[in-house]
Amino acid sequence: MEAEKISKISRRSLLKASTGALAIPGLAFPGTVQADVKEQLATLIDLSRCNGCVDLAKPSCVTVCKEINKNTIPAIADPIPVPWPRKTVEDWSRKREVSNRLTPYNFIYVHKADIVWKGKPQTIYVPRRCMHCDNPACATICPFSANHKQRNGAVVIDQDFCFGGAKCRTVCPWEIPQRQSGVGIYLHVLPALMGNGVMYKCDLCNQRLKEGKPPGCVEACPREAMIIGPRKEIYAVAEERIKAMDGYIYGKEENGGTATLYVSPVPFELINETMKKKPGQPDMKPGVERRMAGTDPAGKQALIAPVLGIAAGAAAGFNWLSRRKQKVQEEEKDNG
Amino acid sequence: MAEKILQEKGLVVRHGSVELIEHWGIALSGLVLLLSGLFELPMANRYYITSLPGFSWSGDYFISLQIHYIASIPFIALAFFHLVYHGIRGDRGLIPQKGDLHASIDVIKSFFGKGEEPPFQKYLPEQRLAYVGMAAIIAILILSGLIKTFKNVYAPDMPLAIVLTATWIHNIFFILFILAFLGHIGAIALKPNRPMVRGIFTGAVRLDYARRRHPLWLAEIKRKGRCQSKGEED
């Protein structure tokens, strides 16, 4: 049953469905996307299946992602303007080959976790990229709305609008977006005083999704460790898999919920212990909170503030009318 | 609005407590919104504002967002209160009148010694124009801000066209709000306008100032029979 479902929702099935060769009700991912771009998608990363492509120079997901995005970043200004007063320049254009961390030229990498679980040493490989959160602070409080949560669930940075202030990286609990200085709209405004490049990260191959294709990493994975599909189905498959493997899930509750679910046969606490949070190398702390949730109550009160103002204004205004009427009546009475 | 002449105190009541609360509520929350809005831009850390004593919080976007939301509650509520309350009362003193633009130019010229000021009503013609300008800026900031807040809280995947429009309108009018605020401060810094500053703090201006500059207003008050020779309050 489990194997059948996995098979049905595998990337190959989805890919076939995109060409119309295979019709799976409810799971015909690319066709569904084309028919209704509002449908929310989710991806599942099964750590019991990922082997980090140890027989290859680089994991397949990393290789294909680099290939797809090799021309994403335009030519870098030479020299790159030095911002003022904090003179931070982040230039990865001469280190494009780096693949063991997130960079503006590398949107996914695979972390190797050597752990001992139930007395047995094990190696777990963890592909890391943007989680495409359900309510991503990186997108919602971007001051220029250059980063946006699409209806299909992908969180996409528009490099034509991004000023590279790195606010998105600061508010992301995993600090996923990475900056390339010397590129973008800021060069045409006040490069020394405002902005510092463009932020880059995985966009879930949003353009490929629009074309009815799965993300490159999903398509390239030789072990079908990654799948994508309608959110409800992916969440259901994730639950079934953790039941079957007596395993653990990550991404369902973290940062308020995400469109990326990891399932693992070992606890994420143990995996997280092997990850030292460094620039471009996020940790995987279970239960990480959505910090912006703390501002929601005040935001809700701001939304009802017009009603408060109207009610108070009406009460005060009608009270004034009533007092004026009373005064006029008294004056008329006095005048006989 | 408790406009009246207090002969013995040598004062004229210009604003009632409701108007003072409206003005200062909007002004102070507006200043907090302005500052917290600036800190929503990635500038506090870059410009070492976080290093200033008492400003270490300025680099935390969630704290400045929380402050922005909290300050927006009185700001929005008072703006709507103002609209409804004065709408019901039929207050029209700050609504621009025909010829205000031309009169404003004459008044500004008189500040530089060219020509004489005409006699004024309660508000100067440029005050009426500035009021409409500020009200429009505030209205658009509130509307775009509410859309952005709704997106943040309930609809992160709101259509991009709406989000982009609201964001850029909010940003542009934020700059206009700063300019309008500076213009407002600049106007009250002008010598002929300084006696009005007392009014916005205490509610009353000096009678001799009003006689000299706002005779039409005093005539209106007298016509309504609000002249107290003993100086007692209502």
- Which of A6, A13, A100 lies closest to A49 in space, CA to CA? A6
Partners of A298 in the beta sheet?
none
Task: Report the C-alpha gap between A40 and B157 in whole angstroms.
Answer: 10
Q: Is the backbone peptide bond immediately before A222 cis, with ω within 30 degrees of 0?
A: no
Find residues 227-256 of chain A whose CB sits inside 8 Å of chain B.
Answer: none
Q: Would you say residue A247 has pLDDT above 90?
A: yes
- pLDDT digit string (tens) for A83-130? 999 999 999 999 999 999 999 999 999 999 999 999 999 999 999 999
Q: Which of A167, A305, A320 sits opposite B77 (nearest CB)?
A: A305
A-facing residues of B in 132-191 (CB < 8 A) are 142, 145-146, 149-153, 156-157, 160, 163-164, 167-168, 171
pLDDT tens digits for range A118-176: 999 999 999 999 999 999 999 999 999 999 999 999 999 999 999 999 999 999 999 99
Q: What is the mean pLDDT of residues A311-318?
A: 98
Give residue A30's pLDDT band: very low, low, confident or very high (50, 70, 90): very low
Positions of chain B with pLDDT under 50 = 230-234
Give a yes or no: residue B126 inside a domain. yes
The pLDDT of residue A58 is above 80? yes
SS3 at position B172: helix
Would you say residue B21 lies in a domain?
no
Closest to B117 measured CA to CA, from B225, B215, B34: B215
Which residues from A are below 8 Å from B153, CB to CB? 296, 299-300, 303
- Which residue in the set A292, A302, A309 is minimally distant from B80, CB to CB? A309
Contact A143 B72 (CB under 8 A): no
Q: Give the span between the Cα atoms of A87 and A92, in whole angstroms.
A: 16
Compute the mean pLDDT over every residue in chain A, rounded to the nearest whole number.
90
Confidence of residue A16 (pLDDT cuts 50, 70, 90): very low
Say if B95 is an interface residue toward chain A (CB within 8 Å): no
- Using the beta-carbon criterion (under 8 Å), do B149 and A140 form an inter-chain contact? no
Q: Please determine, for residue A3, whether its predicted confidence score (pLDDT) is greater than 70.
A: no
* B57 located within any domain: no
The number of folded domains in chain B is 1
Phi-psi region of A175 (alpha: psi -120 to 50; beta: other; left: phi over 0): left
Q: Is residue B71 part of a domain?
A: no
- ipTM score for this prediction: 0.92
The answer to whether B64 and B58 are in contact (CB under 8 A) is: yes
Surface of B (64-83) touching A: CB under 8 A: 65-66, 69-70, 72-83
Strand-pair partners of A124: A113
Q: Report the alpha-carbon distance of residue A136 to residue A132 in Å, rounded.
A: 7
B89-125, pLDDT tens digit by residue? 999 999 999 999 999 998 888 888 888 888 999 999 9
pLDDT at A334: 82
Mean pLDDT of A302-327: 97
Residue B87 lies in a domain: no
Measure CA of the first residue to CA of the last residue in chain B; give whole Å.
12
Q: Looking at residue B113, what is its pLDDT?
A: 84
Neighbours of B218 (CB within 10 A): 20
- Residues from chain A contacting residue B149 (CB–CB below 8 Å): 299, 302-303
Question: Does position A36 have pLDDT exceeding 70, yes or no?
Answer: no
Q: Which of B84, B153, B168 sits opposite A314 (nearest CB)?
A: B84
Q: In whole angstroms, what is the distance from residue A135 CA to residue A132 CA?
A: 9
Domain that holds residue B130: 92-197
Mean pLDDT of A280-291: 97
DSSP string, A24-86: -TTT-HHHHHHH-TTS-EEEEEETTT--TTTTSSS-HHHHHHHHHTTTTS-PPPSSPPPPSSS
Class of residue B178 by CB neighbours under 10 A (exposed 0-12, middle 13-18, buried 19+): middle
pLDDT bin (cut points 50, 70, 90) of residue A38 is low
Six token digits for residue B83:
């609209």
B225 occurs within a structural domain: no
Structure pTM? 0.91
Inter-residue contact B156 to A40 (CB < 8 Å): no
The answer to whether position B174 is within a domain reads yes
- Mean predicted confidence (pLDDT) in A237-247: 97
Per-residue confidence (pLDDT) for residue A108, from 0 to 100: 98
Whole-number pLDDT of residue A103: 98
Q: Quick one: average pLDDT of A25-49?
A: 65
Q: For residue A195, is it left (φ>0), alpha (ψ between -120 and 50) or beta?
A: left
Q: Would you say the C-alpha torsion B79, B80, B86, B87 has a positive or negative sign? A: positive
- Judged by a CB distance cut-off of 8 A, whether residue B87 touches chain A is yes
For residue B144, what is the nearest residue in chain A, using CA coordinates?
A303
Is-contact A230 A41, C-beta < 8 A? yes
Q: What is the pLDDT of residue B232?
A: 40
d(CA A67, CA B92): 66
- The predicted pLDDT at position A5 comes to 43
User: What local confidence, expressed as pLDDT, does residue A37 receive?
Assistant: 53
d(CA A299, CA B62): 12
Confidence at residue A21, expressed as pLDDT on a 0 to 100 scale:
31
What's residue B213's pLDDT? 94
Q: Is B223 part of a structural domain of the chain?
A: no
Looking at A2-11, A156-165, A219-228, which range is the least confident one? A2-11
